[in-house]
Amino acid sequence: MAPTVLGILNVTPDSFSDGGLYRDQAAAFNRATEMVAEGADIIDIGGESSRPGASPVSAEEELARVLPVVEAVADVAPVSIDTRHEQVARAAVAAGAQVINDVSASLGPVAAELGVGWICVHMQGEPATMQDGPRYRDVLDEVIAFLDAKANEAKALGVSRLWVDPGFGFGKELDHNVTLLANLHRLVDTGWPVAVGTSRKSMVGQLLARSDGADEAVPVDDRLVGSVVTASYALSCGVDLVRAHDVKATRQAVSVVTGRSPTQSRSS
């Protein structure tokens, strides 16, 4: 099957890239339909920012943000719910979500019970503090071992559709991210479907700055090239799913890497 493109839709005031843009239900729905037209296979709806330094929100607030949007978007496209809270995951699935995108890597049993897909993300620490000096003995071995164990547990519980995600930027310095990116084939070789999200992240801004010989990371709005290049590299390693803010460009990258037209990719 062709790789899946997951379009990012944050209905938050503080996400690092699109925070505040789609808090209005109509704006969120319009953006979702736009991403579907651009080639998104799944719309990933999040109501709590997981950017570095983000403060947690209550499950009640998260539900108020996401449920109306999930209900509306589920009528026009498959939906994943980006959450680490069981209450939110259950309510979103009841409202039509088909996948739980889980940065806490704790909701496998919920996905199994509800019969939905699960994206298991590696994160060291919590969003508020995860970038406060993250440390690893061997980031590649530790991330792979963690994800492999979680995936085996989920499969044993009955989760039939799952992806493992190395969690770029989630409790990782730039060198950790680069090591994971350069060795994505090792994670693919585990046999589990792999999801990758580098879109517009700080690692991309830092790598673009390095390429220009600059000290300051390239601003979020100027990270398209780096986002598409890292997604393309991930696809060439055999990754099954890429998360993207810039869906049209990412879908084009899928077509270039796989040799399929956008229509062929989405129908495969």
Residue type, 246: D
**Can you tell me the distance from the alpha carbon of 46 to that of 61, in angstroms, rounded to the nearest whole number?**
12
**Alpha helix (H) ranges present in the chain?**
25-38, 59-73, 86-94, 108-114, 139-157, 174-182, 184-188, 202-212, 224-236, 247-258, 262-267
Q: Work out the burial of residue 248: count CB atoms within 10 Å of its CB; fewer than 13 is exposed, 13-18 middle, 19 or more buried.
A: middle
The neighbouring-strand residues paired with 43 are 7, 79
**Can you tell me the distance from the alpha carbon of 165 to that of 128, in angstroms, rounded to the nearest whole number?**
20
Please count the CA atoms within 13 angstroms of the CA of 132 that sit on its side-chain side.
Answer: 8
Catalytic residue positions? 201, 243
CA-nearest of 85, 151, 76 to 117 is 151
